[in-house]
Amino acid sequence: MVPRDSRVTDGEYKAFCKGCRYSFPLHMDVESFTRSQPDVAYWLKGMRCPSCMKTGATLDFRVQPSVRGAVYFVTCTACQHPFSEKSSLEAFE
């Protein structure tokens, strides 16, 4: 859940789990992130959509629930189906 007053900086928010109230960052500034992490842009191009099975996605936002992992919320470039993908941040450091 993302509270209305949760903005930390421009493009960054604090979200929290409704079940355990654990808080974690939510990053909305995806343009600067993909520019600074070229591996992520390459990874998105090869991502397969679970709906149409075509490759290619755009990053909508990412959530970092732990230091070692992230969840990327993406949209298929072919059919516009939104889906999420878990990833280890170690691959992009």
Residue 82 resides in a domain: yes
Residues 6+ apart with CB under 8 A from 52: 76, 78, 79, 81
Q: Using the 8-state DSSP alphabet, how is residue 56 labeled?
A: -
Span 29-54, pLDDT tens digits: 888 878 888 888 899 999 999 999 99
Total domains in the fold of the chain: 1
Q: What is the mean pLDDT of residues 81-90?
A: 80
Amino acid 75 reads: T
Alpha helices (H) along 4-62: 30-36, 38-45
- Containing domain of residue 79, as a range? 28-92
- Residue 59: predicted pLDDT: 92
Name the nearest CA neighbour of 42 among 66, 27, 59, 60: 59
Which pTM value belongs to this model? 0.73
Residue 15 resides in a domain: no
Residue 62 resides in a domain: yes
Residue 13 resides in a domain: no
- Residue 8: predicted pLDDT: 56
